[in-house]
Amino acid sequence: MKSPSRSRSEVVSMLADPGIIAVVRAQRPDQVIPMSQALIAGGVVAIEITMTTPNAIDAIREACELTGDRALFGVGTVLDVDTCRAALAAGAEFVVTPICRTELIAIAHAAGRPIMIGAYTPTEAQLAHEAGADFIKIFPADTLGPGYMKNIRAPLPHLRIVPTGGVDVQNVGDFLKAGCVAVGVGSSLVSAKILREADWPALTRKAAEFVEAARNAKA
From the candidates 48, 62, 93, 206, which is the catalytic residue? 48
Catalytic (active site) residue 177: no
From the candidates 65, 93, 103, 137, which is the catalytic residue? 137
How far from 185 is each of 116, 132, 162, CA to CA, in Å? 14, 24, 10
d(CA 195, CA 102): 33
How far from 177 is each of 88, 167, 174, 217, CA to CA, in Å? 32, 13, 5, 6
CB contact at 8 A, 24 and 59 = no
CA 181 from chain center: how many Å?
11
Catalytic (active site) residue 48: yes
User: How many Å is the Cα radius of gyration of the chain?
Assistant: 16
Active-site residue set: 48, 137
